[in-house]
A and B are shown apart, each in its own frame.
Chain A
Amino acid sequence: MSNGIVKLTDATFDEHVMLADVPVLVDFWADWCGPCKMIAPVLEELATEKQGLLQIAKLDIDENLDVTRRFEVMSIPTLILFKGGELRTRIVGARGKAQLLQEIEEYL
């Protein structure tokens, strides 16, 4: 994927997220979800601007039900920020860039 955004699966989730050195923002999304498409460009911009400070990762919930259930995601888009192998904050619903940054800033 472009801008160093990682595409996650049930099999690779722990390796890329729980064992990561930098904070990881995981986007739980699906192809049929309009608001998910709308935040895709926001996440791409963040990936470029925060390179080295923040890893952006995407998980297609349709194909990866194990991780989706493990974190009890029941609404998309849901964005979860992980740091040091722990869930730090959960953002439900799409956001503009400024607001999203504000909500994750303290964890970076």
Chain B
Amino acid sequence: MSEQRQVVVLGSGPAGLTAAIYTARANLKPLVLEGEPSSTSDQPGGQLMLTTEIENFPGFVEGIEGPELMARMRDQAKRFGADFHTRKATRVDLSAPPFKIWTGEASGAAPDVVATSLIIATGAQSLMLGVPGENRLLGHGLSTCATCDGFFFREQDVAVVGGGDSAIEEALFLTRFVRSVTIVHRRAELRASKIMQERAFSNEKISFRWNSVVTELLGESKLTGVALHDLSTAEDSILEVSGVFVAIGHAPSTAVFNGQLELRENGYIQTYGGTRTSVEGVFACGDVQDDTYRQAITAAGSGCSAAIDLERWLDVQEHS
């Protein structure tokens, strides 16, 4: 038997949970499919679950831990009546309302949930390097979670790949444990915010390999180093490290919507006049439709917009 809902929210990062808070307070009894445990950013709570201190979320003068902020948003949504299932959508049918959602094995049988309206807040997933050695060395020196695994690299030399805020945050976090961090970045300058850059440049444990990309992870049963290619000189070299942390950016989690919703060329969901998608009754918010700002606060803001857009849409449906 399919569960019937007026509002279903897919995803539980700042966008999904803000949408849940607003729709719950509008007495719409939202169901949040919050995702399933994983060690990448694709998990309940989203990308912030793998971060430490968040210093730029307004209202938290002294900063707040990412997981703590997400736990609070979740509790707040629950307080107003949002329901949560720790599952993720594996298949959707948006061809005609009500929308059908399958979780778990996406077989042909009846959908698990049927929804009058839908808010998509599935966010973005961290990109992997896609180089040889990756599968073999995951968990043996290659890590997707610096906050989980920094502990294992006490007094060792490690590399962080990437040049954005996440990469710098990971590098700074790792300096609590390791002997040295080499930041490997494909450009000659960082994308990270000025304050993060200054912290990285003034940290004695951090050094840089500019204009460089990782071409292979080395080591049989344990990581021993990474092969680097310098894009400016075309030289190849080996950097000896026992740990590699990857923070090279994100791609929107839109695979299940392919062919059912209009996506932009880069895979992000196309929205119109706020958070409306190409399908009436389906709204998108947060990083799944934002390739520009990608901040916790902008995700939360667009989650609020999606909830309001949805409420107005439901109103019109009921009165027509």
Give A contacts to B, CB under 8 Å: 30, 32-39, 41-42, 61-62, 72-78, 90, 92-99
- Report yes or no: B140 in contact with A34, Cβ–Cβ below 8 A: no
Q: List 30 A-B contacts (CB under 8 A).
A: A33-B145, A33-B147, A34-B45, A34-B67, A35-B148, A36-B148, A37-B67, A39-B37, A42-B37, A61-B151, A72-B140, A73-B152, A74-B149, A74-B152, A74-B222, A75-B39, A75-B138, A75-B139, A75-B143, A75-B149, A92-B39, A93-B38, A93-B39, A93-B40, A93-B139, A94-B39, A94-B43, A95-B38, A96-B37, A96-B87
Given A30-B151, A35-B43, check contact A72 B37 (CB 8 Å): no
For residue A78, which residues in chain B have a CB less than 8 angstroms away from its CB? 139
- Report yes or no: B140 in contact with A94, Cβ–Cβ below 8 A: no
Given A38-B44, A77-B39, A93-B38, check contact A33 B152 (CB 8 Å): no
For residue A72, which residues in chain B have a CB less than 8 angstroms away from its CB? 140, 221-222
Given A72-B140, A98-B104, check contact A35 B37 (CB 8 Å): yes
Q: How many positions in chain B have a CB within 8 Å of any CB in the partner chain?
A: 31
For residue A97, which residues in chain B have a CB less than 8 angstroms away from its CB? 36
Complex Cα spacing A75 to B221, Å = 14
* Of A33, A36, A74, A95, most B-chain CB atoms within 10 Å: A74
- Report yes or no: A96 in contact with B67, Cβ–Cβ below 8 A: no
Interface membership of B50, Cβ < 8 A: yes
Closest to B152 in A: A74
Closest to A92 in B: B139
